[in-house]
Amino acid sequence: MNRLQGVKRILRNQNGYSLAIVLMVLLVFSVLGMSVMAMSMNSVKMSAGEREDQAVFYIAESGAAMVLSEIEEKVKSLSESASIKNESGFFSELDSQILSTTIIDSFENNQNEQPTASVQVLSDEDVSDLMTKEYRIVSKGKIGNRDRSVETSFQISYVKGEGITIPTGMAVFSSKRMELNNGEIRGDIILNSSSKNEIIVTGNPTIYGDIKIPNGNSNVFSAPDWWIDQKAPKIIKHNEFIEFALPPFPDVFPTNYNVIPDRSVNEHKLISNGNINVTNYNVANTTISLPNNFEINDILFSGNRKLTFDVGNKDISIVVNRIEGGGHLSVKGTGTLTIYLKDNINLHGHLNQGRKDNLFLYIGPSNNSLNPKTIKSSDYAEFNAAIYAKDANIELLGSAAINGHVMTGGKRVSVSGDTSATGNGTVIYAPNAHVNLSGSGKLYGSIISDSFLISGGGKVEGRSVDLEDIPFFQNGTNSTGTAVLKKNLIIETSN
What is the full per-residue pLDDT of the chain (495 aa) written as tens digits? 555 565 555 555 555 566 667 667 677 667 666 665 655 555 444 455 577 788 899 999 999 999 999 999 999 888 776 566 678 888 888 999 999 999 999 898 887 889 999 999 999 765 556 788 999 999 999 998 889 999 999 999 887 656 677 888 899 999 989 999 999 999 999 998 878 888 999 989 999 999 988 876 668 889 999 998 899 899 888 776 677 888 888 889 999 999 999 999 999 999 999 999 999 999 999 999 999 999 999 999 999 999 999 999 999 999 999 999 999 999 999 999 999 999 999 888 888 887 668 999 999 999 988 899 998 876 657 888 889 999 999 988 776 777 788 999 999 998 887 777 766 678 899 999 999 998 888 888 899 999 999 998 889 999 887 777 777 776 554 444 578 899 899 898 876
Q: Are 141 and 60 in contact (CB under 8 A)?
A: yes
β-pair partners for 462 = 445
Q: Nearest-5° angle of CA 177, CA 183, CA 186?
A: 85
Tell me which residue of 274, 337, 272, 268 sits closest to 303, measured CA to CA.
Answer: 268
* CB < 8 Å & 24+ apart, contacts of 164-167: 164/244, 164/247, 164/429, 164/467, 164/473, 164/474, 164/476, 164/477, 164/478, 164/479, 165/467, 165/478, 165/479, 166/427, 166/446, 166/448, 166/464, 166/465, 166/467, 167/242
Task: Give φ, ψ of 325 to 5 degrees.
Answer: 120, 180
Q: Give, in order, the Cα–Cα distances in Å from 305 to each of 287, 302, 472.
A: 11, 6, 30
pLDDT at residue number 44: 44
pLDDT of residue 46: 44
**Would you state the pLDDT for residue 119?**
95
Q: Which of 102, 78, 61 is nearest to 156 (CA)?
A: 78
Q: How far apart are CA 412 and CA 76, in angstroms?
A: 35
Strands 315-333 and 285-289: unpaired
R_g over Cα of the chain: 39
Give the Cα separation of 205 and 185 in Å (integer). 8
Q: How far is CA 60 from the centre of its chain?
A: 32
Q: Where are the alpha helices (H) located in 205-351, listed in sequence order?
A: 225-230
- The answer to whether 460 touches 438, Cβ cutoff 8 Å, is no
Q: What is the pLDDT of residue 238?
A: 77
Burial of 358 (0-12, 13-18, 19+ CB in 10 A): buried
